[in-house]
Each structure stands twice: as structure tokens, then as C-alpha cells.
Amino acid sequence: MQVDSELRVRANPRDVWDVLTDYDNMPRYVSTLQASSIEKRSGNQLQVTQRGTVHFALLSFPFTTVRQIDLVPYTEIRTTVIDGSMKSSQFVTTIIATPEETRIVQHGSVVPDIWIPPGIGPAIIAERTRVQWQEFRTEILRRSANLAQPAPSALPVSPQSAAGPSNADTAQNRRQ
């Protein structure tokens, strides 16, 4: 099955990259994943193991994959399944910066290792792709919003400043 998708999000490309490549934390924001970890790292090449379950209507499809991931910082992620519950799967995800937003374009193919009733396979992949991209968008926007927040002051609050401005502060404000 061929999969082509595009997501547009109002975030900088680095925030997008950080979410799409945060394999160790991905189960926190991708609902199909129960476990995900980087097993090997060599430069810009990773080997990632993921385990989870895809639910569709009354059906459940557990999976385990080992993926080889080639990173082209901060523009492209190439993923190939090298072991697990799929006969094959290859994807290229491209991150494209525009002045207003970041586009995430993905093209790939997947060949399941289990029999799936005809007609239902594309529906499962289409539905899961939509849900997963929405989960990625939510996490990208959450992280972007957190980065936009001013950092809390590292200075301790003195009892005087906690109670309000001192007479000296008030006098200083009047002179300005």
C-alpha cells in the first residue's frame, strides 16, 4: 500500500524535527505505541525498536518493528523496517520551511505481514495516518507553546518583593 500525506503546522522546523525524531519519548504522544527506544546510534543513522497496537473498529493488530532510520538534519527522515511485524515498509519524511508554517510531506509504502481483509487495509492506514499526524501536530504545538513561554525567574523571591514594591521601588517608579 502506498501512503502519501502532508501536514502543515505553524511551528518552526526545528520543533517539528525534535518531535518527529524523539523516538524514546514517542509513546507519550503517539497512541498506538506502548514502547519505543533507540537501540543503536551511529552518526545520523539509528536503529529504533517500537511495539504497539493498532485498533480499528473491533479489530486489533499488535506490532513490533525494528527500523533503520537515516537522518538528514533538519530536513529529511528516511525509515526502513528491517525486522518485525511487516514484510516491508519504507518512508521518506521531508520537512519544508515556509514563511508562515512548516510542511511535513511523507511518501512511502507498507506491506503488512498479516492478512487484512481486502478494502479494510487502506481504510486502516488512512485512519491511523490521520490520527498519528494529529498527535504529532498536538505535540509540536505543545512544545512550541512551551518554548514561547518566558522562563521563570531563577532568582529567589525575597519577602519584600513577594509582598509588593518597597518604598524605594515606588519612589523609583515615580521618578520615571
**pLDDT tens digit sequence for 135-162:** 999 999 999 998 766 555 444 443 443 3
Residue 49: inside a domain, yes or no?
yes
- pLDDT of amino acid 149: 61
For residue 63, give the C-alpha cell: 506490532
- Which residue blocks in 82-166 are alpha helix, DSSP H? 120-148, 159-163
Q: Number of folded domains in the chain?
A: 1
Residue 169: inside a domain, yes or no?
no
Domain that holds residue 7: 2-147
7 or 170: which carries more pLDDT confidence? 7
CATH of the domain at 110: 3.30.530.20
Residue 132: inside a domain, yes or no?
yes
Residue 123: inside a domain, yes or no?
yes
Residue 59: inside a domain, yes or no?
yes
Residue 155: inside a domain, yes or no?
no
Average pLDDT value for the chain: 85
79 or 174: which carries more pLDDT confidence? 79
Per-residue pLDDT averaged across 38-47, rounded?
98
Per-residue pLDDT averaged across 42-65, rounded?
91
Q: How far apart are CA 65 and CA 87, in angstroms?
A: 10
Residue 20: inside a domain, yes or no?
yes
